[in-house]
Chains A and B, each alone.
Chain A
Amino acid sequence: MNKIRIIFVKEVLDSMRDYRSWSTGLFWALFGPLMMGGMLMLIGSSVRGDIEKPLNLPVQNPGNAPNLIRFLEQHDVLIEPAPADPESAVKAGDVNVVLVIPEEYGQDFSSGKSATVRLVIDSSRQSAQVDVSRIQGLLDQYSSYLGALRLVVRGVSPQVLRAVDVEAVDVATPQSQATVLISFLPYFIIFAIFNGAAPIITDTTAGERERQSLEPLLINPVPRRIFVLGKLLAAFPFSIATLGITLLGFGLIFNMLPIEEYLGIRISLNVITLILIFLTCLPIVFLASAIQMLVASFARSTKEAGTYLPFIALVPSLPSLALAFFPVKPVLWTMLIPTFGQQLLINQFMRLEPISVSNAVISTVMTLVISAGITLIAIRLYNREQIVFQKS
């Protein structure tokens, strides 16, 4: 125990003096909050901006349908002259939508037939969606209004046309793109834990070999498992600090930005939620350190380790990707997978959903057991003579 402490203290002191590597770690800790804050602000401003602004609508031949144009103008639409070639202008993205009123519109309209107008749109352009659906809604509204008027003139109640009246009750919170973004938040937290441990693990394993100090070190009368444990534990404070800073960053951003007003969804990152997330993530500190230690021990140099470790930090993002597109309920099997279970739990904490205590316990125990297993493998690796004299 005493020797574990000696190794721990030396590695922490050594790493603290490696100013450059832990300041890089600090950047990674703030990376998630800054990126998410920036994206939330962008989404927020674009969603709000589109609805408040009057809609500029290029119209070809507005003179053919004066009543329709008047109706649109009453609904906050600014009519503009259409570009010469509406289709290529929309395709090129110069305008979002063009309304084309054909020559025969007036004639069809007066004879009581369905009068056709053409809407030129590009359905693959996400940013045009707000404009397109707004103008489509207005045209529908105008059409039903006129239809109803015609029925009334003929002495028929407009309601006979409405055999079924659809009244939608939307339980989904709006702005689904923001929800997708938010579902990556748990991953950013886990990513920070891995990145906080990486520089220390690299320096104490591959770095030790690279600077030729591993051989003299291992000649000291200390069992190899003590070295492994001391070095592993030395990564913990850095990893935990990175986790704390990341959570603090998210906390600040979610409490300073008017998220609810931006997105219409309720995300809570109050102090208690942050503490719960912190505790839930602590076992991942062990996992991240152990798995990175195992991999870095194979590397001959810090540079080589630096090419492996980022991949490992990316692996826990796969469940997050899946979560963003296929919502998974926090059931038992998900809790058995380290990092996946925690991501679901973080999501629940943020949404203020009730947490199943057994889920939290299973996820924690499972992560600790797997981390201990990985540590044992690392110890076995360090007991082989190839750890010092590997063929290069």
Chain B
Amino acid sequence: MIEVQGLSKSFGKLKAVQNVSFFASNGQITGLLGPNGAGKSTTLRMLYTLLKPDSGFARIDGFDVTAAPLDVQSRIGVLSDAQGLYPRLTTRENIRYFGRLHDLNGEALEKQIDQLIRLLDLESIADRRTEGFSSGERLKVAIARALVHDPGNVLLDEPTNGLDVKSTRAMRQFIHRLCDAGKCILFTSHIMQEVAALCDKIIIISNGLVSAQGTPEELLRRTGKDNLEDAFIEAIGSEEGLE
């Protein structure tokens, strides 16, 4: 469960995020849609505690991101824009390192790693060093690593960026599965079709501001359009930076 209230962040003169408020509940997929540079990543980075909000607050399962960052960090699984692995460690070792940093160990950790490796179809490369992995393989390892502590909230920053059609489909199925497991999913995208296909709730951001939010039906009703893509463009006011 994620609550965001009046969140703002500036970098010098640039107002990256202004007064953003929304709510993302468990068992739902919430999408942050907006053109590149709209403030989606900055919002997410404040949620996963690496940036401090200038004003407003955000809570994850009731824990404030500024006041209790460690509690927040142990309740989120994050696939950030940066997805670097340790090339001299194997798939399993990469996942294990993050598991240990989440206070997991022993048999419980190994079982969890095995489960993720099966779930993400990583068996054939589980004990290979990650140097030279394809981008699809690297992404899967990064996901496994982010979910090793079985977090209740999953934050994904442009998770299908740079993936081929097959991997994109697999990714979408995986997001659905996480949602079915009762997790709170928040992901960002600049691809209208993706958001339309996946989301229970859509938050449209442009120039750091929330320009519209709601379920797909609510967005259609509010903009008076008969398809979601037109509704998005209406809400943002431009097609620029969208796909």
Contact = CB atoms under 8 A, between A and B. Distances in A.
A296 B135 CA distance: 28
A13 to B, nearest CB: 8
B84 interface: yes
Interface string B69-82: 01101101010111
B174 interface: no
B146 interface: yes
Interface stretch (B98-106, B116-124, B220-228): B98-106
Given A215-B80, A385-B51, A220 B73 contact: yes
B87 interface: yes
A211 B94 CA distance: 14
Given A213-B85, A216-B82, A220-B102, 10 more contacts: A10-B97, A17-B89, A213-B84, A215-B50, A215-B81, A216-B78, A216-B83, A219-B48, A221-B102, A389-B51
Contacts of A211: 84-87
Q: Name the residue among B50, B71, B76 with the largest chain A CB count within 10 angstroms.
A: B50
A219 B76 contact: yes
B49 A219 contact: yes
A216 B50 contact: no
Interface string A207-236: 010011111101111110000000000000
A18 B71 CA distance: 34
Given A17-B88, A385-B51, A221 B73 contact: yes
A7 B129 CA distance: 19
A216 B146 contact: yes
Nearest to B80: A215
A260 interface: no
Interface string B39-64: 00000010011111000000000000
Given A18-B88, A216-B142, A219-B78, A6 B97 contact: yes
A389 B146 CA distance: 20
A310 B86 CA distance: 25
Nearest to B52: A385
Contacts of A6: 97, 100-101
B89 A14 contact: yes
Contact of B70 (A7, A212, A221, A385): A221
B177 to A, nearest CB: 22
Contacts, number: 74
Contacts of A14: 86, 88-89
Contacts of A214: 82, 84
A6 B101 CA distance: 7
Contacts of A218: 50
Q: How large is the interface on B (under 10, 10 to 19, 20 to 34, 35 or more residues)?
A: 20 to 34
Contact of A222 (B88, B89, B101): B101
A222 B70 CA distance: 7
A221 B74 contact: yes
B50 A223 contact: no
A204 to B, nearest CB: 10
Given A385-B51, A389-B50, A212 B101 contact: no
A208 B82 CA distance: 11
Contacts of B129: 17
A199 to B, nearest CB: 13
Nearest to B49: A219
A223 B82 contact: no
Contacts of A216: 78, 80, 82-84, 98, 142, 145-146
Contacts of A17: 88-89, 129
A3 B102 CA distance: 9
A219 B102 CA distance: 10
3 nearest CB pairs, A to B? A212-B84, A213-B84, A221-B73
Given A212-B83, A219-B73, A385 B50 contact: yes
Contacts of B80: 215-216, 219
Nearest to A5: B100
11 contacts: A17-B88, A17-B129, A211-B86, A212-B84, A213-B84, A214-B82, A215-B50, A216-B98, A216-B142, A222-B70, A223-B70
A229 to B, nearest CB: 14
Nearest to B74: A221
A17 B129 CA distance: 11
A214 B84 CA distance: 8
A388 interface: yes
A214 to B, nearest CB: 7
Contacts of A10: 86, 89, 97
A10 B92 CA distance: 13
A206 to B, nearest CB: 13
Q: Name the residue among A3, A6, A220 with the largest chain B CB count within 10 angstroms.
A: A220
Nearest to A17: B88
Contacts of B97: 6, 10
Contacts of B101: 3, 6-7, 220-222
Contacts of A222: 70, 101
A136 B76 CA distance: 87
A212 B142 CA distance: 12
B190 to A, nearest CB: 20
B225 to A, nearest CB: 37
Contacts of B51: 385, 389
A216 B78 CA distance: 7
Interface in B145-189: 145-146
Contacts of B102: 220-221
Contact of A213 (B48, B74, B86, B100): B86
Contacts of A208: 84
